[in-house]
Amino acid sequence: MTKRKLGAVLAVVLTATLLSTSATASTPSWAKARSYYEERGDIVWEVPTSEKYIAFTFDDGPDPNKTPEILKVLEQYQAKATFFVVGERVERFPEIVRMELAKGHELGNHSYQHPAFNRLALSSVSKQLDLTQEAIFEATGTKPVLFRPPGGYYNEGIVELSKSSSLQMILWSWHQDTKDWAAPGVSAIVSKVLDNARNGDIILMHDYVYNSTQTVEALKEILPELKNRGYSFVTVSELLTHKVTPDHHIKVNH
C-alpha cells in the first residue's frame, strides 16, 4: 500500500469513528432517561398492549365553550377520555369538571396555574399539585390519581414528588403529539393521529385553545375512522389495566 493510499484508508476509518461518535452524542440525552423512567413505571408515555385501545387526553381546560363540544363528540362515539385540568380553571368552571366525571371520563392534575416547572422551586411545584388536588376535590368530591406536568417538563425531583403524592405521571406517545394548541389546521391534526395510530397510544390534545375550534373538528373525523378500524377509546387509568409485559405477550400468542 502506498503512503497516499494508507492515508486515505486512515481518513475513512477516522471519519467513520467520528461519525459513529457523533451519532451517539446526537441521540437525545432524555431518550436514555425515558427508558429508565419507563421501565420503573415512574412515567408513562404509552401502554404496550395487544388490545385495540387508545386513550385520548385533553389538557389545559376546563373551558365553558370547547369542553362541552368535545364531550358531545366523545359521547357520539362511546369514547371515554382523560382531561388534565388546570386547578385555577377548575375553580372558575366547576360544573364543567363535574360534567366530565358524570359522563365517565377521568380527571388528571395539570398544575394550578400552568407555570413552567423548570423555573420553579420544588416547593412551588408541590404547591401547584396540592392546590389542584384540592380544587378538584372541592368541585367533584374525588381526587385524581394522574398527573401531567405543563409542557411535559420533568426532572428527578418532580418525578419523586409525583410518586410521594401518589400521582402517576402521564406524558403522551411521541408520535401522537397533535400540536393542536398551535392551530396547525384540521387536516394536520387528523392525519397526525390517523397515520400513526396503534394499540396503547396516548394522544395529546387540548380542550382549551385560544381562538381555535380545530380540535373538535378534527375529532369528528378521527373518532369514526378509528372506530372503523376497531379501536375503543378508554381513560388512561383503564388503558393501564390492559398493559402487557413482553413475556405475557408471547404467552398470549402461542
Could you tell me the smallest distance in angstroms from the CB atom of residue 155 to Zn ion? 17
DSSP for 10-52?
A: HHHHHHHHHHHHHHHHHS-HHHHHHHHHHHHTSEES----SS-
- Kindly tell me which of 60 and 180 has the beta carbon lying closer to Zn ion: 60
46 lies in the site for Zn ion, by CB under 5 A: no
User: What is the identity of the amino acid at 2?
Assistant: T
63 lies in the site for Zn ion, by CB under 5 A: no
60 lies in the site for Zn ion, by CB under 5 A: yes
Place of cell 394536520: 188
Could you tell me the smallest distance in angstroms from the CB atom of residue 62 to Zn ion? 13
**Whole-number Å distance between alpha carbons of 26 and 105:** 40
Could you tell me the smallest distance in angstroms from the CB atom of residue 149 to Zn ion? 9
- Kindly tell me which of 60 and 100 has the beta carbon lying closer to Zn ion: 60
- Kindly tell me which of 129 and 226 has the beta carbon lying closer to Zn ion: 129
- The interface region with Zn ion, picked from 38-46, 47-55, 142-150, 240-248 by CB under 5 A, is 142-150
**Whole-number Å distance between alpha carbons of 87 and 113:** 7
Angle formed by the axes of helices 94-102 and 122-140, nearest 10°: 70
User: What is the identity of the amino acid at 19?
Assistant: L
59 lies in the site for Zn ion, by CB under 5 A: yes
Residue 225, H or E segment:
helix 214-228
Could you tell me the smallest distance in angstroms from the CB atom of residue 209 to Zn ion? 10
**Which 144-163 residues touch Zn ion, going by CB under 5 A?**
150
- The interface region with Zn ion, picked from 55-63, 195-203, 213-221, 222-230 by CB under 5 A, is 55-63
- The interface region with Zn ion, picked from 35-43, 52-60, 126-134, 183-191 by CB under 5 A, is 52-60
Cβ(168)–Cβ(159) under 8 Å?
A: no
Cβ(96)–Cβ(62) under 8 Å?
A: yes
Positions annotated as catalytic residues are 59, 206
Contact footprint for Zn ion (CB under 5 A): 59-60, 150
